Structure 1
Amino acid sequence: MKILRIIAGLLFFGGIAPWAHAAGDRLSTHFTPDGPIDAPNFEVAAETGYMVGIIGNPNSYEVAAQFFTARWRWGVVEHDSWLQGYNQVYALFMVEPILRGPENLYYGISLGFRYNFAKPGARFVPYVSGGVGLGWIDSHANVFGAQGQDFTFNILTAVGVSYKISDHWKANAGVLYQHLSNAAQTDPNPSLNLLGPQIGVTYSF
């Protein structure tokens, strides 16, 4: 539970705080004294990752994660500081074949926020994101350390950097953390913590 509190705190500071500062700027033209911040109205992305189990589960999980995401701009921070950039809200669908572990497949949805630390004219843009959702797994409750039921909740966090290839296309790479749990609906409730690299492409409108 300590790691969840830490993650929640980081997400609140890193994501919600700049979102609150930017909420009033949604209709801005997004210009600063140094030029415009490239803050797309809408994006779609396809991403893939490879994660391994860490912390608290006896099974050596390996998961191949696929994410399909839609992102909407929600405010721009224009003042020249380390917070300069723009917020996004996102909705994603995930499909995760389990390469190693008692189960075979996890799939679900997640809603969350992403903050992009963008500077005028920059091609490289660091980002941090986090969200919560729900999903289903082919559980095997009789196996020690396996998930206790099919229905689960999920927490997703990621940090990384995107690179602007053209006016519409971006590539990104980062690190993804995922937590799966059924919120103590079964006893025991063997949660699953996953960590690994992620890459993807984004199309901006």
Structure 2
Amino acid sequence: MRLISGIFFATAMSVSGAYAADMVEPVAAMDLPYSWTGFYVGANAGGAFGKIDGDFIGIPGSADIRNFTGGALVGANYQYGQWVLGVEGDINYLGFKKEFSPGLGGGELGAEARLDAFGTIRGRVGYAFDRWLPYVTAGVAMGDVKIDEHVFSAAESKFQTGYAVGGGIEYAFNSNWTARAEYLYVDLGKKDFGFAPGTPYDVKTNFSIVRAAVAYKF
């Protein structure tokens, strides 16, 4: 009788143990919520579309920006609940170089505009849906604008600062890699290049950026 009771007890314990394991396994197999907190580095590429406007003693001119842009980025995020707060900086190649138009006979500015690169330092605010992160961003933009002026045969570069605003959506493929699509509007403000005394030479630069980026989160 004791033997039968022992066999029954062992069988019951085995069945209950297997049942408990079945209950625990799905819980252990569940994915934990993704965390956006951490430092990251990455690269971006896309297109820039806008213009550099010039005004030489009341004579207007403009040079359209239609260029490839690409660069590197670095940043950090902190997630609190579903809210994600971050800061990001980037430096980007632009390679823009173009004559102001229209031509001299029709009231040309008589100059070439150039912007080789630009950078931004921005804050980001997003609302996470697990691995999806829609966000808005805003901050400071900067770039070295060069004007090669033909009337006075002079060239000058000025470091212009302004702002950048935009937004995008980012997706985390795994614990380390993310990808995003992003739009930015960049305004570098207006500067007076003043090649000669009493001859104001105002230059204003603004453009939009549509780009994609990948990043590695540590």
Shorter-chain TM-score above 0.5 = yes
Distance 1:195 1:96 in 2: 12
Conserved 8 A contact 1:131-1:155: yes
Which structure 2 segments of 5+ residues have no match? 1-31, 55-61, 100-111, 195-199
Conserved 8 A contact 2:191-2:203: no
Going from structure 1 to structure 2, the CA distance change for 1:204 and 1:171 (only over 3 Å counts) comes to same
Distance 1:63 1:138 in 2: 16
Identical-pair percentage:
21
Deviation (angstroms), 1:54: 5.8
Conserved 8 A contact 2:34-2:131: no
Paired residues in the alignment total 160
Going from structure 1 to structure 2, the CA distance change for 1:183 and 1:104 (only over 3 Å counts) comes to closer
User: Which residue of the partner structure matches residue 194 of structure 1?
Assistant: 207
User: Which residue of the partner structure matches residue 87 of structure 2?
Assistant: 89
User: Which residue of the partner structure matches residue 172 of structure 1?
Assistant: 180
Distance 2:95 2:52 in 1: 20
User: Which residue of the partner structure matches residue 123 of structure 2?
Assistant: 113
Deviation (angstroms), 1:47: 0.7
Going from structure 1 to structure 2, the CA distance change for 1:38 and 1:151 (only over 3 Å counts) comes to same
Confirm whether residue 59 of structure 1 aligns to residue 56 of structure 2. no
Distance 2:85 2:191 in 1: 29
Going from structure 1 to structure 2, the CA distance change for 1:181 and 1:70 (only over 3 Å counts) comes to same
Which one has a bigger Cα radius of gyration? 2
CA offsets, 1:172-196, max 9 Å, x none?
A: 1122211123555653322122113
User: Which residue of the partner structure matches residue 48 of structure 1?
Assistant: 45
Going from structure 1 to structure 2, the CA distance change for 1:141 and 1:38 (only over 3 Å counts) comes to farther
TM-score for the superposition, normalised by structure 1 = 0.65
TM-score for the superposition, normalised by structure 2 = 0.62
User: Which residue of the partner structure matches residue 68 of structure 1?
Assistant: 72
* Structure-to-structure mapping, 1:20-31, within 5 angstroms: none
